[in-house]
Amino acid sequence: MKPFLADPFDSDSLHEECGVFGVIGVADAASFVALGLHALQHRGQEAGGIYAHDPEQGFNGAHRFGYVRDNFTKAEVISTLPGPLAIGHVRYSTAGTKANTAIRDVQPFFGEFAMGGCAIAHNGNITNATALRRELIERGSIFQSSSDSECIIHLMARSIQRNLAERLKDALRRVEGAFSVIAMTRTKLIGVRDPLGVRPLVLGRVGDDGYALASETCALDIIGAEFVREIEPGEMVVISPGKVESSRPFAPAGSRFCIFEHVYFSRPDSIIGGRSVYETRRQIGVELAREAPIEADLVCAVPDSGTPAAIGYAQESGIPFGMGIIRNQYMGRTFIEPTDQIRNMGVRLKLNVNRALIQGKRVVLVDDSVVRGTTSRKIKDMILDAGAAEVHFRIASPPTAWPCFYGVDTPDRGKLLAAQMTPAEMRDWIGVDSLAFVSLDGLYRAAGEAGGRKNDCPQYCDACFSGDYPVAPSDQIERGFQMLEGSETAHAAE
């Protein structure tokens, strides 16, 4: 099978790498997982997989390239995944070779142990995976994929603990970086977050005795599950029908949840830390309007992720909000094989300017981020071609100047525009009348931290903006990555 094509017109965005979902204590659990993964499709659109367990038929799995709707809504697939317990995963590539993704890299991964089988699905990135993989191979492990997540299975195999939950604890104590892991044995559903809680994981109740684990609350909504709580940083839950057991396998550490989940990754209808993602994004727009006011006639969003912030900017500034850019909702990621001519059309295949609204106006464009800046330039050109008098960019995140090593597909630092230019230089390079980013303190205030960022002990992981990495990226340092001089993690790494 030919690998599913990444969107050739979406190379200037940051991508979350994975979504995970699991359910126990329901009939036809795989169908519930398929629905949950559909709700999490925004977290990974390259491929997906489901593993299920049935007391009579044992473990069964299916892995496919492409959308959940195209693969796991078919009766001939779901019928091969019977049982009351299942987990699933949607992905982009992180560790491993993105251009040559193979079906063997698609999670969940499965291992057969002396005490039974276990499937795991991992959201995040293991920052010491290269060293672990080298050690495991030298000791005889035979890897089947290029994924960093497979290290967890091999570490479990080498544990001497007597049950699979304890073996998973052993394995994850060796792992550095970010992980929210969902695992399943023959009778248990297990969820674990790393000690800093960088990646999300929530618990829901399904019916009388069923439970679900998911990356976001929106995936609980689609199956009619009741949100119970977030799995806490450093917590493991072992779930059987009607019962949840909690433990703390790791040394205590302060929470450093990924702040970019608030900005972009999570769906706006999800709840994070008791707070609506939509409301946080709207409040980012309010902060932007206070920090970077401008005289203009119209506020427009770069859809869809910029919309809540644009609404907030318009409300705070008093400038009317309008749908100046319309997104083509029906352009699938596979679309057509992109010839040079098609590729040069770029964002015009996805976005179109509402010319009648834009013409003659001073326009404030609100977007979630600037990565390479190439898409920003193309959108600016489209707005000017439609007759706008002025174009002002307002960005609902601080400048993205550092790569993420915790599960986000960020380019090398040399390809990040904010790592090479000042905001004034970026403004001139993009070719807009003005450019402003929300401040880091403003972003924290929008996320509910009234006092802004606590620089001595940040409340979130904001390494992509600040260069302050809460976990030293060991593999990257080994390859020569230079951390921000003077940062606490850099000193620890030395």
Active site residues: 18
Q: Which of 413, 427, 375, 379 is nearest to 11 (CA)?
A: 375
Is-contact 233 258, C-beta < 8 A? no
Q: Which of 294, 289, 297, 288 is nearest to 319 (CA)?
A: 297
In the block, which residue shows the tokens 């979902």? 21
Q: CA 449, CA 178: separation in Å to the nearest integer?
A: 23
Strands (E), 168-283: 177-184, 189-193, 202-206, 210-214, 226-230, 236-240, 243-247, 257-258, 271-272, 275-276
Q: How many residues make up the chain in this entry?
A: 494
User: Where does residue 360 fall: left (phi above 0), alpha (psi -120 to 50 degrees), or beta otherwise?
Assistant: left
Q: CA 393, CA 25: separation in Å to the nearest integer?
A: 49
List CB contacts of 14: < 8 A, sequence separation 6 or more.
260, 264, 265, 369, 371, 400, 404, 408, 409, 410, 464
Report how far apart, in Å, the C-alpha atoms of 339 and of each of 3, 46, 119, 132 are.
18, 21, 40, 41
- Beta-ladder partners of 363: 298, 391
Mark 216-255 as b/e (b = at least 16 C-beta within 10 Å).
Answer: bbbbbbbbebebeebbebbbbbbbbbeeeeeeebbeeeeb
- The reply to whether omega before 8 is within 30° of 0 (cis) is no
Q: Which of 29, 466, 416 is nearest to 241 (CA)?
A: 29
Q: CA 257, CA 460: separation in Å to the nearest integer?
A: 5
Is-contact 35 431, C-beta < 8 A? no
Neighbours of 129 (CB within 10 A): 23
Q: CA 103, CA 47: separation in Å to the nearest integer?
A: 8
Q: CA 467, CA 489: separation in Å to the nearest integer?
A: 10
User: Where does residue 31 fall: left (phi above 0), alpha (psi -120 to 50 degrees), or beta otherwise?
Assistant: alpha
Is-contact 392 433, C-beta < 8 A? yes
Residue 29 one-letter amino acid: A
Q: Which of 77, 7, 9 is nearest to 374 (CA)?
A: 9
